[in-house]
């Protein structure tokens, strides 16, 4: 074997080992009582999205099932075309190995993702909802009955478009969205958007009030088979 052949062989081995190491995740149990193998971390940011906290990311709180990661990122990519001027932010997901994820009661098997509500400012511009330690990374934010707080208001059109994108990508890949948890008193605003008919036909919103109010974020559970 000459030097050129040896180099080609080394490159081939490196590519093979990289692909072999990129194992798909395996989830076990349920969102409320489960675990995860080969969990993957969501990227810090992208063209139209960002994570809610560098601190939380370093603490290992942004891991998901590999299929969920692919769905989430593909949905953001679709929104770059559909809503090019809108910004989005994801929040808590889960640990690399799943399991109990305080203070959440779910997020245990890599299939749950919290998304901060997209908002617009007083000028109607899409902006990121501020998330930092002083507002518990956004989870202490409280919107009023119409989805307003100070200069921000919930961008229901962008939120509905995001949920639709998540569902369409999930179905295209052979999966589904199991449920969406969002404050019941604010859900009617989503049905005033252009996506109302699609939401009514395809999305199961939880109608019960959760143990904490889901007004500053919406919780999405994906329907992916687990062991």
pLDDT in tens, 198-219: 999 999 999 877 656 688 999 9
Cα angle 143, 81, 51; round to 5: 45
Percentage of the chain exceeding pLDDT 90: 85
pLDDT tens figures, 86-104: 999 999 999 999 999 999 9
**Cβ pair 154, 147 in contact under 8 A:** yes
- Mean pLDDT computed over every residue of the chain: 90
Closest CA to 224 of 22, 1, 64: 64
Among residues 43, 222, 49, 39, which one has the least CA distance to residue 131?
Answer: 49
Contact between 46 and 57 (Cβ < 8 Å): no
Q: What is the mean pLDDT of residues 17-36?
A: 80
Tens of pLDDT, residues 44-68 = 999 999 999 999 999 999 999 999 9
Q: Supply the pTM of this predicted model.
A: 0.88
- 3 state DSSP class of 102: coil
Give the separation between CA 82 and CA 124, rounded to whole angstroms.
18
Give 146's DSSP letter: T
Beta bridge partners of 35: 28, 98
Residue 115, SS3 per DSSP: strand
Q: Is the pLDDT of residue 141 over 90?
A: yes
Contact between 94 and 69 (Cβ < 8 Å): no
Q: Can you tell me the distance from the alpha carbon of 93 to that of 115, in angstroms, rounded to the nearest whole number?
A: 9
| Closest residue by Cα to residue 112 from 207, 226, 194, 227 | 226
- pLDDT at 5 > cutoff 70: no
List the domains of the chain with CATH numbers. Answer: 23-223 (3.30.1380.10)
Strands 148-149, 217-223: pairing is unpaired
The residue assigned the tokens 């995001």 is 162
- What is the rounded CA–CA span in Å between residue 208 and residue 162? 22
């Amino acid at each position: 074997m000459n030097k050129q052949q040896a180099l080609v062989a080394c490159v081939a081995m490196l590519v093979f080992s990289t692909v072999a190491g990129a194992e798909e995740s395996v989830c076990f149990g349920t969102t409320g009582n489960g675990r995860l193998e080969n969990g993957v971390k969501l990227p810090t940011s992208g063209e139209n999205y960002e994570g809610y906290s560098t601190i939380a990311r370093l603490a290992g709180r942004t891991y998901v099932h590999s299929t969920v990661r692919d769905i989430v990122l593909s949905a953001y990519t679709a929104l770059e075309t559909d809503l090019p001027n809108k910004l989005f932010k994801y929040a808590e997901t889960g640990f690399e190995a799943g399991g109990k994820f305080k203070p959440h009661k779910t997020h245990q098997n890599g299939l749950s993702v919290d998304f901060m509500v997209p908002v617009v400012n007083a000028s109607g511009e899409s902006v990121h909802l501020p998330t930092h330690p002083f507002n518990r990374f956004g989870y202490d934010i409280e919107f009023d009955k119409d989805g307003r707080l100070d200069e921000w208001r919930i961008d229901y059109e962008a939120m509905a478009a995001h949920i639709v994108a998540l569902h369409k990508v999930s179905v295209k890949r052979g999966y589904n969205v199991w449920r969406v948890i969002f404050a019941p008193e604010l859900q009617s605003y989503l049905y005033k958007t252009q996506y109302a008919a699609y939401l009514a036909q395809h999305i199961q919103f939880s109608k019960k009030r959760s143990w904490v109010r889901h007004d500053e974020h919406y919780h999405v559970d994906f329907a992916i088979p687990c062991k």
